[in-house]
Amino acid sequence: MIIAHRGASGVAPENTFSAFEKAVALKANMIELDIQLTRDGHWIVMHDDSLKRTCGVRKPVRVLPLSKMKTLDAGSWFSKDFSGEKVPVLDDLLSWAKNKISLNIEIKGKINLKGKAVGSLLKTISDHGMKKEVLLSSFNWNILRAVRNLDRNIPIGLLVNRELRSRYIKEALHLEAVSIHLPKHKMRKGLPEMIHALKMRVLVYTLNSLEEMERCASVGIDGFFTNYPDLPTQKKLPVKKV
């Protein structure tokens, strides 16, 4: 399973429609993207807490309203060919992706878990009829617990960073996760088999070389995240580090 990391972010500006459309063209199985809340409570597609790197604005995402977010240029930082690329709104992205490609939506940013943010996200996904085509993930496990408390069925993927195996396995089972997303350095022979025995998939991030892909595939993973969805058919590609 090839998952386009922030879209085909090696060849187009990350988390933009250009990167998403390219991922579809390169026959990715799924698109991974990041979402955050604007000041006025709208979900937009953005990885960093700050807008500086990808939009050239020295402000946090959370301080701008949606109306201002729609005016930003999210493509010029990558290449002048993408000048004027807009920051996608999640609602528009779901409309575009419906019946086209499944999405791994990573929830980022500071969220008031006692507020309406998680509920509004789940409602937006449901309104688009995308519950079966979306996989929700986050490094903030409290967010995932809030998701599961509100929806017992939507697929959850547990994102792991430095946590011990015993801890992330326990959390994944508690959340009834469908997958565990592991960094490549945690891949060991026998680990996928153990997770498979618990009825969960193993997805690995972020593999941008054939050597990495072949090594992880050899231990039995179910899929991987990559900036270059067509890399398995290529011999060599430069990696744009982000």
Positions annotated as catalytic residues are 5, 47
Torsions phi, psi for 216 (to 5 deg): -70, -35
Q: Which residues pair with 204 in a beta bridge?
A: 182, 224
Torsions phi, psi for 186 (to 5 deg): -90, -5
DSSP code of residue 104: E
Q: Is 38 helix (H, G, I), strand (E, B) or coil?
A: coil
Residue type, 38: T
- CA torsion sign for 168, 173, 174, 177 is positive
Q: Which residues contact 91 (CB under 8 A, 6 or more apart)?
A: 42, 43, 124, 128
